Chains A and B, each alone.
Chain A
């Protein structure tokens, strides 16, 4: 009898990878289970590590409500199961409730990835009514002094706490997203406690990944090796202590690693996102790689066609594009040579081995540089905005 009811397989450490593991998409590039929709780049916050490209899409280029609805319908039809409404700040779009409602109507599971500062209780309640399934709120620290400074937005932290409470009052599951770096890592134990106090279900401890805005701010953000080791210990102890109470997902920064991360599960293998202007991208930083032509949902191609056939998606798929040391490496199908955007940003060629890998000829240099920056005095941010960034003033604004 014991095999009549085998357990539900445990969730994979890679979010959403459970089905992918069962039915490998290695050869066929099946449609991803979840898609990130960056519906706008507008955002009241100015976080110096923003994952949006340095060249932001202005509001005039954004897809219209009808265009997003068509995208949602198409995604559901080709087999996408979840969408993440993200940005920029997705609540900056006046039609968000309408889009969530439409996503629900076509059968998609909806996540909201928000800074929360623009939400009212009424609007959150409308979103819940529209079928929103899950809310993720970013936090920049544990108290308003540091948190508001990092976000470049006064009063933000207090508002986030308020919206997090409304989320739980409305019976929506809550994820706390905490982006960590040298200037806030000391607050990690308190961020974990804050997540418990807010009755969150999940906490994402995401160390900054250094492309785009974050690369420009690397000297102000790079943690020390000692900080990171402590961070890992804190996360592991908390996971044990809070088992069944708070799930903690942990993203380590890869500069200090020996092996690179399997970025996006491999280029074009299990993830794509759609930019505010409708470009279908293999990762949210992909536009930083010049020389690739990313097609838009406004082109005369379907999303499925772009995913399967476009030149940009096929360029770094599989292992055929690799050079040495990736080409003959025994790990080439484990990590696919790391992150293409990072390889491009640091070496000028996206087909090079990601310097996060110890086998990259640049690894040692990058590691030393990170160590030196982490020990340095720079703490001033270049804030993210449409003007190409604004340097933090002496009084922290």
Chain B
């Protein structure tokens, strides 16, 4: 797996898809997919939106802020859902995180 294993997603994590998990719009089937070794996952609309925000710079808290503003929904509830969704992906090995480099 590219990057650290067994990551624990929290508000301060800066998640990103590893190089072997590719988020792609499937033009033929008109759905978003995550391509991974021997797997094709079908994330739902909101998961896609979250994953598009996972650029390795934003942390999970920033992502929750953005979605809360966009959907005028309570931030804490959104944050909880985002963490659960990302942790599930991380447990399957399809999410990694950027860590501060120790000099």
Residue ranges of A at the interface with B (Cβ–Cβ < 8 Å): 1-2, 4-11, 15-16, 18-19, 22-23, 30-31, 33-34, 78-79, 81-82, 107, 109, 111, 133-134, 136, 171-173, 175, 199, 201-202, 244-245, 247, 249
Within the complex, what minimum Cβ distance (angstroms) separates A307 from chain B? 13
Cβ–Cβ contact B40 & A244, under 8 A:
no
User: In the complex, which residues of chain B have a beta carbon less than 8 angstroms from the beta carbon of A134?
Assistant: 20, 37-38
Compute how far the CA of A175 lies from the CA of B38 in the bound complex, rounded to whole angstroms.
10
User: Is B92 in contact with chain A by the CB < 8 A criterion?
Assistant: yes
Cβ–Cβ contact B2 & A19, under 8 A:
no
User: Is B29 in contact with chain A by the CB < 8 A criterion?
Assistant: yes
Compute how far the CA of A10 lies from the CA of B38 in the bound complex, rounded to whole angstroms.
13
Within the complex, what minimum Cβ distance (angstroms) separates A355 from chain B? 29
Q: Other than A19-B33, A23-B29, give 5 A-B pairs with Cβ distance below 8 A.
A: A2-B81, A16-B40, A134-B20, A173-B1, A244-B6
User: In the complex, which residues of chain A have a beta carbon less than 8 angstroms from the beta carbon of B73?
Assistant: 1, 4
User: In the complex, which residues of chain B have a beta carbon less than 8 angstroms from the beta carbon of A111?
Assistant: 37-38
Cβ–Cβ contact A5 & B40, under 8 A:
no
Mostly, the B contact residues are mixed
Q: Which of A2, A171, A244 contacts B2 (CB 8 A)?
A: A171
- Nearest chain A residue, comparing its CB with the CB of B28: A79
Q: List 11 A-B contacts (CB under 8 A).
A: A5-B81, A5-B84, A7-B84, A7-B85, A8-B47, A8-B88, A19-B29, A23-B29, A81-B35, A111-B37, A133-B22
Within the complex, what minimum Cβ distance (angstroms) separates B54 from chain A? 13
Count, chain B residues at interface, CB 8 A: 43
- Nearest chain B residue, comparing its CB with the CB of A246: B93
Q: Using A16-B39, A202-B38 as known contacts, say yes or no to A79 and B1 having CB atoms under 8 A apart.
A: no
Compute how far the CA of A22 lies from the CA of B30 in the bound complex, rounded to whole angstroms.
13
- Lowest 3 A-B CB distances belong to which pairs? A79-B28, A5-B81, A1-B77
Residue ranges of B at the interface with A (Cβ–Cβ < 8 Å): 1-2, 5-6, 18-20, 22, 24, 26-29, 31, 33-35, 37-44, 46-47, 50, 71, 73-74, 77-78, 80-82, 84-85, 88-89, 91-93
User: In the complex, which residues of chain A have a beta carbon less than 8 angstroms from the beta carbon of B24?
Assistant: 81, 107
User: In the complex, which residues of chain B have a beta carbon less than 8 angstroms from the beta carbon of A173?
Assistant: 1-2, 18, 20, 37, 93
Cβ–Cβ contact B78 & A4, under 8 A:
yes
Cβ–Cβ contact A1 & B28, under 8 A:
no
Compute how far the CA of A23 lies from the CA of B30 in the bound complex, rounded to whole angstroms.
11
Compute how far the CA of A7 lies from the CA of B42 in the bound complex, rounded to whole angstroms.
10
Cβ–Cβ contact A1 & B74, under 8 A:
yes
